[in-house]
């Protein structure tokens, strides 16, 4: 990856020469020069990435769905398809499966360097995420994603040590973000994710949806079976919801250590979200968790409310969006 260091040095522009000329012509010349440098920098970046023997892609993380904006031939070879402009989470899911894609997506949101041991085809790789901080790009935010071959010498040993360190840091971070009963995000972490995704979606007025699931007559279930069995029930319902998520970029969480679970979906239509919520309700019922005091039958069931909004239009904030659903404003 030493080629990348050359690239970032070029992109920083290097030492600036002093120019004492003034006036509009100078400003126009300066603007044109900056535009030319951006074009040159991009060409250099593309050549450096193309020359890398490691599969590599660059993702824009300040846009909805985190589109893939650049790949190299090595990545195209393992993916087998043109992935440009496709959502990052969908690309990862196609390569390494849903469960791993969910983990990788959570790390992408945290904007911290991370790595994962994965298998693509019959080869083992170390999948790395590294945020890019480019001062020349105003508000743009990117992440480089690379696949480092698991075989090899001292380089592989160094990668293994670095991976172990990043994994330990990620596990420590996850302890503060996970609900210990369900393994889903806790409410605090969920609010952070919602704030982040709302800010990103506001830039292009895209739609977000929330689905609130409530376990029916859950207090009665606790009275009958006790806390241990109730925690097991919550965990199974939570994992059933997680398995039904439509995209790896969607997230689910438990609210306030209670019997409410919530999903944030990057949906484009509210009707599709309602169908998704109905499928989850069916999946929970089909778990066959016995509930002798259930009003809807002999098994655990969930009720749900749905709310969809165009970020940046109305409501005014992520918190207002969430509170509207919790207050029953959703359908």
Q: What is the pLDDT of residues 314-323, one digit of tens each?
A: 788 999 999 9
Average pLDDT over residues 142-169: 62
* Mean per-residue pLDDT of the chain: 80
Residues 174, 237: Cα–Cα separation, whole Å: 20
Cβ contacts of residue 320 below 8 Å, gap of 6+? none
Given a contact cutoff of 8 angstroms between Cβ atoms, the answer to whether 114 and 129 are in contact is yes
Per-residue pLDDT reduced to its tens digit, 68-83: 998 999 999 888 878 8
Distance between CA atoms of residues 226 and 214, nearest Å: 19
Asked whether residue 312 carries a pLDDT value surpassing 90, the answer given is no
More confident residue, 110 or 304: 304
Sequence-separated (6 or more) residues with CB below 8 Å from residue 203: 62, 63, 64, 312
Query: 120 - beta bridge partners?
Result: 123
Is the torsion defined by CA of 240, 269, 198, 90 positive or negative?
positive
pTM (global) more than 0.75: no
What is the residue-wise DSSP string for 117-147? Answer: EEEETTEEEEEEEEEE--GGGTT--EEEEEE
* pLDDT in the model for residue 213: 97
Of 4-8, 43-47, 168-172, 215-219, the range with the lowest mean pLDDT is 4-8
pLDDT attached to residue 216:
96
Half-sphere exposure of residue 48: CA atoms within 13 angstroms, side-chain side: 19
The pLDDT score that the predictor gives to residue 161 is 59
Map out the domains of the chain with their CATH numbers.
Answer: 52-177 (3.30.450.20), 187-326 (3.30.70.270)
H/E element holding 229? helix 218-244
pLDDT digits (tens, 9 = 90+) for 277-302: 999 999 999 999 999 999 878 999 99
CB atoms under 10 Å from CB of 104, counted, come to 23
């Amino acid at each position: 990856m030493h080629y990348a260091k050359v690239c970032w040095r070029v992109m920083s522009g290097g030492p600036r020469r002093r120019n004492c000329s003034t006036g509009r012509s100078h400003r126009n010349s300066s603007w044109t020069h900056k535009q030319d440098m951006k074009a040159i920098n991009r060409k250099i970046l593309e050549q450096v990435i193309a020359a890398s023997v490691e599969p590599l892609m660059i993702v824009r993380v300040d846009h909805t769905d985190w589109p893939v904006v650049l790949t190299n031939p090595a990545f195209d070879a393992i993916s087998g398809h043109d992935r440009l402009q496709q959502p990052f989470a969908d690309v990862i899911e196609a390569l390494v499966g849903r469960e791993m894609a969910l983990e990788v997506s959570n790390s992408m949101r945290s904007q911290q360097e991370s790595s994962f041991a994965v298998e693509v085809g019959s080869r083992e790789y170390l999948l790395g995420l590294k945020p890019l901080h480019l001062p020349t790009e105003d508000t743009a935010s990117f992440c480089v994603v690379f696949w480092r071959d698991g075989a090899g010498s001292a380089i592989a040993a160094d990668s293994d040590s670095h991976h172990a360190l990043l994994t330990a840091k990620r596990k420590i971070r996850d302890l503060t973000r996970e609900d210990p009963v369900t393994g889903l995000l806790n409410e605090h972490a969920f609010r952070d994710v919602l704030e982040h995704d709302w800010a990103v979606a506001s830039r292009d007025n895209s739609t977000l949806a929330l689905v609130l699931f409530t376990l029916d007559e859950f207090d009665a279930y606790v009275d009958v079976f006790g806390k241990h069995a109730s925690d097991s029930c919550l965990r199974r319902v939570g994992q059933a919801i997680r398995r039904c998520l439509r995209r790896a970029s969607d997230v689910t969480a438990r609210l306030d250590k209670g019997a409410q679970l919530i999903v944030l979906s990057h949906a484009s239509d509210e009707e599709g979200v309602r169908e998704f919520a109905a499928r989850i309700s069916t999946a929970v019922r089909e778990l066959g968790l016995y509930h002798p005091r259930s009003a809807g039958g002999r098994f655990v069931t969930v009720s749900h409310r749905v709310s969809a909004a165009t970020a940046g239009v109305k409501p005014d904030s992520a918190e207002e969006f969430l509170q509207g659903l919790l207050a029953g404003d959703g359908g």
